[in-house]
Structure 1
């Protein structure tokens, strides 16, 4: 996302912005791991390999926690440095990411319910609604990331 930052930022601020970008990329990779975990879990049904899925959940939970803590620290440091516009966007992204994680967990549960229900319309509709909400949340995150780019690169 961020490359060759404009010279309007100090080296410390530049490093915080670049670190945030790296952490967002790590978060995307962690979500991919999480999605692969639920796919493998559902595919292991009807006996379900819960032990393997629990390990994936444990690993991604630890990774999400680490990433979130670092991003919260970045946001605080930017706020302390009076780079409020960027700090506010990072805070908004964090709120969206929290909602995205909650929706992802609910979506995983709904996917298992669909698999277990032999395709009941109720479960399918719940899963579809959660997928739609997830898509909207991802769009919101991407809008904030675009806004962040505009702020960083504006003259």
Structure 2
């Protein structure tokens, strides 16, 4: 029987990077492994701050939006989304500026694009946005919060 292979694409993100000093690197663009195997996706980073860095991993499959997997902060365990806690793990090593993502017991559903992101990431804006919808005669139709 032919083994089932799982393909993982890697992508790197660094939003709001300061003067191009902050970046992430996922050198290997694709990983292929068999179902049931363990795979490690590597992420190296450079940061303009020496401590307190936060790294995030996201998974994007099909045409869906990226899904938060986990975050790691220098000197802290960070957090992991409930659906990924059992098989996904990472440790941020600030001495070599690395935060590899380890996926155990690979499943076909793990085939996706995985993003490593250096803070600040998409969680930066926590303010409530307001927008008024106006009619043609300038009456407020809805006030959206």
- The two structures have a TM-score, normalised by structure 1, of 0.21
Larger helix percent: 1
- The two structures have a TM-score, normalised by structure 2, of 0.22
Which of structures 1 and 2 has the larger relative contact order (alpha carbons within 8 angstroms, sep 6+)? Answer: 2
